[in-house]
Amino acid sequence: MTAETLAGPQTHAFEADVARLLHLMVHSVYSDRDVFLRELISNAADACEKLRYEAIAAPALLGDDPAPRITIALDARERRLTLEDNGIGMSEAEMGETLGTIARSGTRAFLDRLGAAKEAEGAQLIGQFGVGFYSAFMVADKVEVFSRRAGSDEAAVWSSDGLGTYALGPVDATEAPARGTRIVLHLMADAADYAEPHTIRRIVKAQSGHVPVPITLVEQPGAEASEIADGTALWTRPRAGITPAEYEDFYRSIAGQFDAPALSLHYRAEGRYEYNVLVFVPETRPFDLFDPDRKGRIKLYVRRVFITDEAQLLPRYLRFLRGLVDSADLPLNMSREMIQDSPILATIQKGLTSRVLSELEKTAKDDPEKYAKIWDNFGAVLKEGLYEDFERRETLLGLARFKTTASAGAWRSLADYVAAMRENQTAIYYATGTDIDRIAASPQLEGYRARGIEVLLLPDQVDAFWVTAGLDLEGKPFKSVTQGAADLALVPLADGAEPPKAESSAEITGFLAFVRDALGDAVSEVRASDRLTDSAVCLVAPEGGLDKQLEKLLAGAGQLPATARPVLEVNPAHPQVTRLAALAEDDPLRGDAPHLLLDEARIADGEALPDPRGFAARMARLVARIAQA
């Protein structure tokens, strides 16, 4: 094909999201522009690994150039940086798809966060969200991409100034690499430094020293290429020779994050199957931690060939780990779908899971402070294992940490809890909600406090689920303080005083019956409470029903038609109650009292009132009466 027969490049508008992303990229992410190089190198390395994988089935794709390679060529005079790989390459159609749109689901979240983020956070976000390629526009005012797909004679060029449009069209094959992709960055004046060899050496060493493809540098036009990274896979080297800084760099490049690992685990398994593991617990929460698909991000290699990052190598409750597994036993020519069902993978998953959990146990024991930070970040995810992984629930209960009514903001283990249990205490008590401080202020906790009984405060969504999974610890079941009768009578008060008698005067008993009749279907029961000291009333869920918090969650998710009717518990010793009970039969306040009590309990629970006008009217009558007296 000659130049004349080729149609000229066509101009296309970027998808709206890309345009917005580029705008933000150029205008707000100036703090750490070095990351663009890591992103381009990581794409080039991915392209080499994809080719290695496709060449297993079609070795001809490698032709006479089998060794993967990334070359960076600099031209300081022209202010130009060129990055070339001999990987899989892209067809013209592929370039249009991948370099003009944003396919990834996390991108919407990225854009929102980037818009709101301070400049310093912006660069961090790029790495976390993997919008890598476009970061080239942080340093270049024109980017050209020449590419040729492996096995194809046709080449194409994509170019853009990052201002809303790009041009895409075929290009004479002699202008493109024989295979793979060449990216030419025309650097902005204030980014001229990126055409300097020492800058590039420094960045590659810091960010990409351990990509599994060798990187060479051509310092200026016509100069000899010299190797600046050797492409040895870090995970195949013996642990003793690897420095913490090397692990940290590797973590950043494989995880696409800018923090440091909180925990590194590197070992070689040599049982029935052989595999290398190098995984990390991040120091901060990855952005996609609570994505609904709950996907893991551990990469699978087979004898150093990257296979997939879709394999489920860890259970979902360990999805916050980053890193890779390199198996010696999986066949290279197995389809990715079949790999997932392979018994070898199942064995690896089992071994890796146990190993990760025992590493966490070890950290919890040897370095509680470090473990507390890990739990801060990932506890809510680990707790999913309590109802998803029954085989390991004891281990997971052992790893779990809680804020409690006795912990003063620190994490407590269940072993701590059990050791502090009161005489005659029959259960491990918990209260769920959305906010620790609000849970801690619930009236339902008063009777437990008065008896010195510790209550676990559970603020995470996941808590509503695992507590109902029938777990117990040393025979003590988990029991909600907002559900069923409180059975506290047997536990003495903390100051040694006699607990108030729940059995009360005939007047109170009669009043409770009156309240029950007046409230009708709004409640399932009205009863005297032994869980209240300072408050007059509270709501609890009936025995055997759903916990109130879980009920709210399910109702919110549309999975529950109507909430079950709650129990109204009344504190028979509270002056508000004794005085209302003593009102004359024909006192107009008596008719309002049951509704006022119920609404008071609802408000204490942070619930919306079903009849706010009715409440306001009763309140107005009450205030008028007090003012008159």
Footprint of ligand ADP (CB under 6 A): 39, 43-44, 47, 85, 87-90, 98-99, 130-133, 181
Residue 213 or 539: which CB sits closer to ligand ADP? Answer: 213
Strands (DSSP E) along 126-222, which ranges? 140-148, 155-160, 165-171, 180-187, 215-218
- Which pair of structure tokens corresponds to residue 107? 């991108």
Residue 44: name its binding partner from Mg ion, ligand ADP, none (Cβ under 5 to 8 Å by kind).
Answer: ligand ADP
Nearer to Mg ion, 22 or 456 (CB): 22
Q: How far is the CB of 40 from ligand ADP (least distance, A)?
A: 7
With binding defined as CB under 5 A, does residue 132 bind Mg ion? yes
Q: Quick one: 181 or 535, whose CB is closer to ligand ADP?
A: 181
Nearer to ligand ADP, 131 or 481 (CB): 131
Instruction: Give me the helices (H) in 241-342, please.
Output: 244-255, 336-341
Q: How far is the CB of 46 from Mg ion (least distance, A)?
A: 7
- Token look-up 């009450």 returns 622
90 binds, among ligand ADP, Mg ion, none (CB under 5 to 8 A by kind): ligand ADP
Smallest distance, Å, CB 99 to ligand ADP?
A: 6
Residues 6+ apart with CB under 8 A from 600: 536, 537
The residue among 99 and 567 lying less far from ligand ADP, judged by its C-beta, is: 99
| 385 binds, options ligand ADP, Mg ion, none, Cβ within 5 to 8 A by partner type | none
Q: What share of the chain is helix, strand, coil (3-state, %, to 5)?
A: 45, 20, 35
Q: Which stretch binds Mg ion (CB under 5 A): 47-55, 125-133, 318-326, 331-339?
A: 125-133
Collapsing DSSP states into helix, strand and coil, what is residue 266?
strand
CA nearest neighbour of 376 among 286, 302, 293, 284: 284
Amino acid at 412: R
> For Mg ion, which is the closer residue by CB, 38 or 383?
38
Nearest CA to 276 out of 265, 263, 285 is that of: 265
The three-point CA angle 162-183-186 to 5° equals 55
Q: Which of residues 24-83 bind Mg ion (CB under 5 A)?
A: 43
**Residue nearest ligand ADP by beta-carbon distance:** 132
Contact partner at residue 124 from ligand ADP, Mg ion, none, CB < 5 to 8 Å by partner kind: none
Q: Of the two residues 47 and 568, which places its CB atom closer to ligand ADP in the complex? A: 47
Neighbours of 262 (CB within 10 A): 18
**Nearer residue to ligand ADP within complex by CB, 286 or 572:** 286
**Buried b or exposed e, range 538-573, using 16+ CB within 10 angstroms:** bbbbbeebbbbbbbbbeeeeeeeeeeebbbbbbbbb
Nearest distance from C-beta of residue 130 to Mg ion, angstroms: 6
| Of 536, 534, 600, 603, residue with least CA distance to 571 | 536
DSSP string, 566-599: PEEEE-TTSHHHHHHHTS-TT-HHHHHHHHHHHH
Binding-site size, Mg ion (CB under 5 A): 2
The backbone region for 373, taken as left when phi is positive above 0, alpha when psi lies in -120 to 50, beta otherwise, is alpha
Please count the other Cβ atoms lying within 10 Å of the Cβ belonging to residue 486. Answer: 22
Q: How far is the CB of 70 from ligand ADP (least distance, A)?
A: 9
Is 53 or 465 the residue whose CB approaches Mg ion more closely?
53
Minimum Å gap between C-beta 52 and ligand ADP is 13
Instruction: Tokens for 297, please give them.
Output: 């991000």
Question: Nearest approach, Cβ of 261 to ligand ADP (angstroms)?
Answer: 21
The answer to whether the beta carbons of residues 591 and 583 sit under 8 Å apart is no
Q: Cβ of residue 116: shortest distance to ligand ADP, in angstroms?
A: 22
Residue whose CB is less far from ligand ADP, 39 or 249 = 39
Q: What is the dihedral of CA 225, 226, 228, 230, to 10 degrees?
A: 100
With CB cut-offs between 5 and 8 Å by kind, which of Mg ion, ligand ADP, none does residue 98 bind? ligand ADP
Closest approach, Cβ 191 to ligand ADP, in A, equals 19
- The distance of closest approach from Cβ of residue 76 to ligand ADP in the complex, given in angstroms and rounded to an integer, is 23
Only one of the segments 20-28, 130-138, 229-237, 271-279 lies at the binding site for Mg ion (rule: CB under 5 A); that segment is: 130-138
Instruction: Check residue 315 for interaction with Mg ion (CB under 5 A).
Output: no
Is residue 466 within 8 A of residue 387, CB to CB? The reply is yes
- Chain residues that interact with Mg ion, rule: CB under 5 A: 43, 132
